[in-house]
Structure 1
Amino acid sequence: MYVAVKGGEAAIRNAHKLLADRRRGDRDVAPIQLDQIVEQMSLAVDRVMAEGSLYDPELAALAIKQARGDLIEAIFLVRAYRTTLPRFGYTKALETAQMQIERRISATFKDLPGGQLLGPTFDYTHRLLDPELAEDAPIEAPDQREEPEVFTPRVTDILGHDGMIEEDGELPEGAVAGDLTREPLTFPLERDLRLQALARGDEGFLLGLAYSTQRGYARSHPFVGEIRIGEVEIELDVAELDFPLTLGTIRVTECQMVNQFKGSAKQPPQFTRGYGLVFGQSERKAMSMSLCDRALRARELGEDITATAQDEEFVISHSDNVQSTGFVEHLKLPHYVDFQAELDLIRRMRAEHEHNRLAGVETKEAAE
């Protein structure tokens, strides 16, 4: 595409060399290692895994290093690598009630079975730069705490027991969940595909939409029923076994948003659900996802669609940052022929405009 650039392919090779040189930086500074990125930039790693749709911290760290810290480029790299991997099967649905909880908070109930666990969070920190971090000062170890019980019921389970919230949706018997990585999307979407798209959607885009729902651009009055972060087991059904096989554990963030609902002809007044689940620790993304999920259920719940966040085709079609990046950045590629055609068109239009202007002046002078 860049054959017209001076030097052609040689220029492109040199551009790659320059990129590698800038990525390495000052040779007097030790090169950053993948384990450093995994351990010390874990939230960036988690975002790349979530939006790249591939749970592998080391590969995500490699992508971040290769992309010089550009997370969207890193997500693109992970997505591309993911397409080369074979598909062995589908694991069972995650049982997040069995999560080994690291953090768990609720804005709806103060006292919960299993308690609230603050965990690692910026929520209670002062937004002041810490100069001690520049000196690599020793870190005080946290106090040891007792691990919560393995089974910790969700807040929505408590509300459901009293019939105060809609029932949790389930796929019909024999139904197979969709897979947007295998089949093209067609609108309207079922909720399983919509949640898949939101889970790997751009955090900033979903955050903006979620914010809009709180500013009156959708019928939304949300409460954080619960946010929980922790390790959950991945299980796979194997035909030769009469029990599921545990493959390992992954860390996830789950958000259950509780929304007011005045009811309809078919349903009584009750709370409704918005749901978010993403890889790693990513509360902002999980919360934004759950708010957007609830907004996109407007048609299902018989609500008027009045806001952008309720428009399924708009939200899903523009939430993928890899697709968005490709469409925006393709503008950097040569468009010489197209531009020359438009340049010629503008010249003809200007000539016609000038001709009409002079003709108008002559007519006016003749009239005088």
Structure 2
Amino acid sequence: MYVAVKGGERAIDNAHAWLAEERRGDLGVAEMSLEQIREQLSLAVNRVMAEGSLYDADLAALAIKQSRGDLIEAIFLIRAYRTTLPRFGASLPVETEEMACDRRISATFKDLPGGQILGPTFDYTHRLLDFKLAAEGQGGAAAEAPASGAPLPHVTEFLNKEGLIQQEVASDETPPDLTREPLEFPANRPLRLQSLTRGDEGFVLSMAYSTQRGYARNHAFVGELRIGRCAVEMEVPELGFAVEIGEIELTECETVNQFQGSKTEPAQFTRGYGLVFGQAERKAISMALVDRALRWEELGEDNVGSPAQDEEFVLSHADNIQATGFLEHIKLPHYVDFQSELELVRKLRAEATEAMSEAAE
């Protein structure tokens, strides 16, 4: 039977008040400002912007503060807010070759035009706690090396000149917009890339790791990883030409993958691709590995049954907001459903007990 919940609204109001109290914490500790979150927790801000599909560091910082640091909840807040924003038009494709790079590395070529730029990275740090950071005002010294402003060619173009890597064919067709249209299968590559770039970092990382462990036969090199700022341009019909409307920070990764050839393609290298808002190199590399695994049919490869090769499995489970909604709904009241199942189990047990008694007689 269904039992009505009394005092529900009052309980919910009290829960909200308690949440606000917990969010604020000890009143003797200074409240964290949005500027502090934006500037000092920038990687968390970048993740919220990327998976929330909204490039606005201030709003991402606000969402992180409101969610008490729960990044998936913050991403949910950003996506919900995004649906209320008007859309004025579409920007032109970003030219990442013209990126002003803070970081640009290659694991395939040592000597590059423009050089390797290590940039801000954890790669060369010792994973030891730095107790200097616990002392207020003991921040690190500012870096002196400026970002590279000169256009830097993509590393894969060196292979492309010799015909050693798969040619990427440009398309004039406008790709579908995953933020406005539901995901449908089969999904073309632009749609898959959109899904991966806003997919949960942990899930995409796990899928990528599975390909490295042999599930998909995907042996990859990081052809190039670059992080920097790109100009965003938009065509203005009244002017008849494109104008720069802003600048965004991006992380781009191209992987170079072995390919033994197929019935239609000669032996050559192939590519995986990842592009993410902000500094998010782990996500970009993971995205590139999964992208390559999902291209098996396009390249005429065999599907070896790897989860990372299953388009529907990967894309249907990558979205953390969809996953969270389905997961967390089971903690909400299901009294009627459970009572019906409870009565069914009682009936089955009673029938089984009765049958056992008759058999014993």
The normalised TM-score by structure 2 is 0.96
2:315 maps to what in 1?
Answer: 316
**Structure 2 equivalent of residue 229 of structure 1:** 227
Match of 2:341, SS state, is helix
Give the match's secondary structure for 2:79: helix
Deviation of residue 338 (structure 1)? 0.4
CA apart distance, 1:237: 1.3
Letter in 2 for 1:59: L
CA 143–134 in structure 1, closer or farther in 2 if over 3 Å, else same:
closer
Work out which of the residue numbers 271, 274, 286 in structure 2 matches 1:288. Answer: 286
Can you list the C-alpha shifts for 1:52-110, whole angstroms capped at 9, x where unaligned?
00000000000000000000000000000000011111111111100000001111111
Partner of 2:184: 186
- d(CA) in 2 for partners of 1:58, 1:258: 36
The corresponding residue for 1:212 is 210
C-alpha distance after superposition, 1:176-217 (max 9, x if no partner) = 111012222220011111111111000000011000011111
- The match for 1:336 is 335
Are 1:167 and 2:161 matched, yes or no? Answer: no
**Superposition deviation, residue 256 in structure 1:** 0.4
Instruction: State the distance in 2 between where 1:93 and 1:14 align.
Output: 48
Letter in 2 for 1:348: K
One-letter code aligned to 2:192: R
One-letter amino acid of the counterpart of residue 223, structure 1: F
CA distance in 1, matches of 2:26, 2:129: 25
Task: Name the aligned partner's letter for residue 270 of structure 1.
Answer: Q
Distance 1:143 1:220 in 2: 37
AA of the residue aligned to 2:296 = A
Alpha-carbon contact 1:254-1:277 (below 8 Å) kept: yes
Aligned residue number for residue 265 of structure 2: 267
1:204 aligned partner, one-letter code: G
Shift of 1:360: 3.2
Give 1:252's aligned residue.
250
The aligned length equals 359
Q: Segments of 4+ in structure 1 off by > 6 A?
A: none
- Aligned amino acid, residue 330 of structure 2: L
Equivalent residue number for residue 366 of structure 1: none
Q: Which moved more, 1:351-360 or 1:69-78?
A: 351-360
How far apart, CA to CA, are the structure 1 residues paired with 2:334 and 2:146?
63
Residue in 2 that maps onto 1:365: none
Q: What amino acid maps onto 1:225 in structure 2? A: G
Asked whether the 8 Å contact 1:222–1:259 carries over to 2, the reply is yes
Pairing of 1:14-163 with structure 2 (within 5 A): 14-142=14-142, 144-145=144-145, 147-163=147-163
Give 1:341 deviation, angstroms.
0.5
TM-score between both structures, scaled by the size of structure 1? 0.94
8 Å Cα contact 1:5/1:11 also seen in 2: no
In 2, the alpha carbon distance for the partners of 1:134 and 1:53 equals 33
Alignment identity in percent?
Answer: 63
- CA offsets per residue over residues 251-275 of structure 1, 9 Å max, x none? 0100101111111122111111110
User: Relative to structure 1, is the Cα distance of residues 147 and 313 closer, same or farther in structure 2, using a 3 angstrom cutoff?
Assistant: closer
Q: CA deviation at 1:243?
A: 2.6
The answer to whether the Cα contact below 8 Å between 1:47 and 1:282 also exists between their aligned partners in 2 is yes
Q: Tell me: CA distance 1:325–1:146, structure 2 relative to 1, closer, same or farther (3 Å).
A: closer
In structure 2, what is the Cα distance between the partners aligned to 1:193 and 1:117?
A: 31
Distance in 2 (CA, whole Å) between partners of 1:198 and 1:282 is: 13
Q: Go from structure 1 to structure 2 and tell me whether the alpha carbon gap of 1:24 and 1:350 turns closer, same or farther (over 3 Å shift).
A: same
How far apart, CA to CA, are the structure 2 residues paired with 1:359 and 1:301?
65
**Aligned to 1:245, what secondary structure does the other structure show?**
strand
1:238 Cα deviation from its structure 2 partner: 1.5
Q: Aligned equivalents of 1:226 and 1:264: distance in 2?
A: 26
**Which structure 1 residue ranges, 5 or more long, are not aligned?**
363-368
Contact in 2 for aligned 1:231/1:251 (Cα 8 Å): yes
Q: Which amino acid aligns with 2:341?
A: E
CA drift of 1:147 comes to 4.6
| Cα distance in 2, alignment partners of residues 69 and 241 from structure 1 | 44
